Amino acid sequence: MNATTILQVFLAILPAIVVGLVAYYFFNTFTRNEENRRRYQLRKQTEKETTPHRLQALERMTLFLERISPGRLLFRVKPTGSDKFAYETKLINTIEQEFEHNLAQQIYVSESCWNAIRATKNATITLIRKSNMSENVESADKLRQVILTELLDNTAPSETGLAYVREEAQQMWA
């Protein structure tokens, strides 16, 4: 084979190579776009299905935080006797039951929001326990008064948790 024959073969193959490269480029681009479109559709469908669940979870967490707010808790859970330790236990058990009732909601809220909710629950329990250890508390009624007085001086722990829940809800619409 001489040089002219090789040149003629190369010139004959060159358009096929160019067409092959262009076809590969367009096929690759089309495949990527199609994959991205399918991912977008799947994400859109998933969001459409999970948004109501997430909103319901945030509503339930709001209700939980409102129910364990010390002010509301004290008015809802009345002491049955004058024993301050029995009343402390009753309040804490009520908070724990409310929390256990809403445990499944953690899969629909962010980790930071769930941590804030748990911290709120623990801070509320700590507030009740610390108030019960006060020297001024001799009865269940006095325990209620001390807790309510503490709330007048400081904000309730549930306010922090509610702020996280509100922030989470706002991020859903942003």
pLDDT band for position 46 (cuts 50, 70, 90): confident
Q: How far apart are CA 65 and CA 165, in angstroms?
A: 9
pTM for the structure as a whole: 0.75
Fold of 50-173: Four Helix Bundle (Hemerythrin (Met), subunit A) (1.20.120)
Residue 1 pLDDT exceeds 70: no
Question: Residue 69 has what pLDDT?
Answer: 94
Structure tokens at 40: 């977008």
Are 121 and 99 within 8 A, CB to CB? yes
pLDDT band for position 57 (cuts 50, 70, 90): very high
pLDDT band for position 119 (cuts 50, 70, 90): very high
Structure tokens at 153: 């001086």
Q: How far apart are CA 14 and CA 23, in angstroms?
A: 14
Q: How far apart are CA 72 and CA 77, in angstroms?
A: 9
* Separation in Å, CA 131 to CA 81, 135, 144, 153: 18, 9, 9, 13
